Amino acid sequence: MRFSTSVARVATAAAILFTTNVHALQKVTRAGRYLYTDDGNRFYIKGIAYQPQGITSNDPNNPFPEPSSFTDPLADSAGCARDIPFLKQLSVNAIRVYSVNSSLNHDSCMQALSAAGIYTILDLSIPLNGSIDRSNPAWTTNLLDLYLTTIDVFSKYDNILAYNIGNEVIVNSNGTVAAPYIKAAARDVKAYLTSKNLQGLVGYAAIDQSADLLVPLANYLSCDSNTDSIDLFGLNNYEWRGDSTFEASYAGVEGAFAGYNVAAYFSEFGSVTKPPRLWTEVQALFSDQMSPVWSGGLAFSYFPAESGDGEFGMVTISGNTVTPNADFTRLVAQYGKVSAPTTPSKSDAGAGTYPSCPAANSTWLASTTLPPTPDDTACACAVSNLSCQFTPQTTNTTAIVGQLIDAACSSLGGAGGNCNDIGGSGSAGTYGRFSYCDPNSKLSFIMTEFYEITNRNAQSCNFAGNATVNKNAPSSVSAVNAAVAQCLSKSQATHTPSAPSTPAATGGSSGGGGGGSPSTPKSSSAALGRAGFEGALGIGAMLVACVVGGMWTLV
């Protein structure tokens, strides 16, 4: 059945919680483990994922494929005007958007969403080269600049609810070494928001996995203190299949998070493994059985999104025509019946506590020592003093920098050096002095190390034409080392980051351009959530384990 914008809208229960209006939206903040609006009422996220699916390769060896590009739905004013009437039919008060292009204009969409009473949960990462690499994690200047540039662009809107610093970065025990980098991102993003008095909670969205990984991850991201903890833990949960029950599908996760100290919600829900999707989990999620822990959730997905499990989309779109399917109709009915508990009051919620961080063990490998805050100024100062600098023959440096770092480290290792200065260990809690710099700067550093260790042999600063001797560098090895050390010493290990002097490039395509879009949303075997929006940076191993071997020549 085709819906039109003239279809009568379903009345929404608990209007003070889920109001749609044309006035400025109230700010949503966290008190303890719950969310509240300015007027003191408890706030529940009643939303939907809103991002066109990306184009990914069908690699059977990679369960988390990266899309080749993405579409920014918040830059598509015509698309937003087309879709918002249907979002209002769903009576949602929030959408989640997974990737945006900060160089584009988002005024029309964000203002229209605000007028419709709809908040936005915005993932700061982008595919390919703009997220924390789950295989070789790092927290670097290019990622921090990307995140802060996006925040600066969206900070003027009153309907920003939260910024996600990562999505499904950790998917297994070995990957828990990435946790310190995620927590460092939360620390620095939160410090930036606080320094500028900007609206927005800091969140992370986790894959649903065994409790021995999920619980330590959630606790780690909210331990120690407010300054380095997230505000909002999201769980991509697909345990409710068909017409299930709280006891069968949610009792376990409710119990696992019973004592959790910050706000939590289902950042995705809506399994398709036992069709049809009846959405009966909505009544459980917003009930007094789950409201002591959870603050609502987001149904997946408004746009068509296919995976091995089936079709997740709730509409099909042809030009300006939107045709909802039966999933949409059933979600309208279920969301329309929501009447969530209003307790506890904000005054009873308290300020919250921050427990000690979980200790490392055989399955949880994360150190409690976090990497430093990335510092553009320190990195730029150091690079200006390096004697051999990366001067690529192509503008598409992301296609070659990983290979070149591999090669440079191999050559350096063969000459008796190492790449420890650009690397780090999330398990040991040790981070090289150059580890927070961007990949291009790291490459210049390793090229210089090799150039110097080979007594400034001219051929050692070539790398198939991708390196050039810096004639303005200090004249001796000791002088180069001293200059670089002085540059890096000016940066404190942890500090409030500054806005990048040049806005970080985000790539992608505009919403109206018909370009690529996010990746395959689910894994068929374990309902893995929106797999692949985040993970590999697509530039080779960004932090490379040095390979000891012979000299290398790129041909």
pLDDT of 62 reads 58
Sign of CA dihedral 125, 546, 463, 416: positive
- Tally of CB atoms within 10 A around 84: 18
Q: Identify which of 71, 40, 38 has the alpha carbon closest to the alpha carbon of residue 54.
A: 71
Classify residue 344 by burial, with Cβ atoms within 10 Å: 0-12, 13-18, 19+.
middle
Are 222 and 104 contained in the same domain?
yes
Q: Mean of the pLDDT values across residues 152-175?
A: 97
pLDDT > 50? residue 81: yes
Q: How far is CA 321 from the centre of its chain?
A: 31
Q: Is residue 254 among the annotated active site residues?
A: no
Q: How far is CA 319 from CA 10, 83, 316, in A?
A: 26, 11, 10
CATH number of the domain bearing residue 68? 3.20.20.80
**CA–CA dist 268, 169 (Å, integer):** 15
Taking residues 159-167, what's their average pLDDT? 98
In what helix (H) or strand (E) does residue 126 lie, and over which residues does it extend? none
**Residues 357, 224: contact at Cβ < 8 Å?**
yes
Domain boundary at 286, 304, 336, which? Answer: 336
CA atoms of 118 and 112, how far apart (whole Å): 9
Tell whether pTM > 0.75. Answer: yes
**Is residue 539 very low, low, confident or very high in pLDDT (cuts 50, 70, 90)?**
very low
User: What total of structural domains would you count in the chain?
Assistant: 2
Tokens of 68: 């080749």
pLDDT over 60 (residue 126): yes
Residue 254's domain comprises 28-336
User: Is residue 350 one of the residues assigned to a domain?
Assistant: no
Residue type at 212 in one-letter notation? D
**Kind and range of the H or E run holding 271:** none
Residue with tokens 């109709």: 329
pLDDT exceeds cutoff 50 at 258: yes
User: Does 325 share its domain with 398?
Assistant: no
In this predicted structure, the answer to whether residue 149 has a pLDDT above a threshold of 80 is: yes
Residue 268: active-site member: yes
Flag the least confident range among 99-108, 273-282, 528-537. Answer: 528-537
- Band (pLDDT 50/70/90 cuts) for residue 544 is very low
Q: Confidence band (pLDDT; 50, 70, 90) for 11?
A: very low
Q: Are residues 167 and 293 in the same domain?
A: yes
66, 268, 281, 534: the active-site residue: 268
Q: Mean pLDDT across the chain, nearest whole number?
A: 87
Query: Cα separation of 531 and 428, whole Å?
Result: 28
Question: Is pLDDT above 50 for 422?
Answer: yes
Give domain status of residue 50, yes or no: yes
Residue 117 domain flag: yes
Euclidean distance between CA atoms 157 and 119, whole angstroms = 10
Among residues 336, 352, 384, which one ends one of the domains? Answer: 336
Please indicate, yes or no, whether residues 329 and 417 belong to a single structural domain of this protein: no
**Is 92 in the same domain as 181?**
yes
- Tokens representing 85 are 């009437």
pLDDT tens-place string over residues 518-531: 333 333 222 323 33
Task: State whether 424 and 329 are in the same domain.
Answer: no
Question: Is residue 527 in a domain?
Answer: no
Residue 3 has pLDDT above 80, yes or no: no
Q: What are the tens digits of pLDDT across the range 470-515?
A: 999 999 999 999 999 999 998 889 999 998 888 776 654 333 332 3
Q: Are 371 and 455 in contact (CB under 8 A)?
A: no
pLDDT tens digit sequence for 190-245: 999 999 999 999 999 999 999 999 999 999 999 999 999 999 999 999 999 999 99
CATH code of residue 441: 1.20.58.1040
Which is the catalytic residue, given 168, 281, 452, 534?
Answer: 168
CA trace torsion 133, 135, 140, 145 (10° rounding): 0
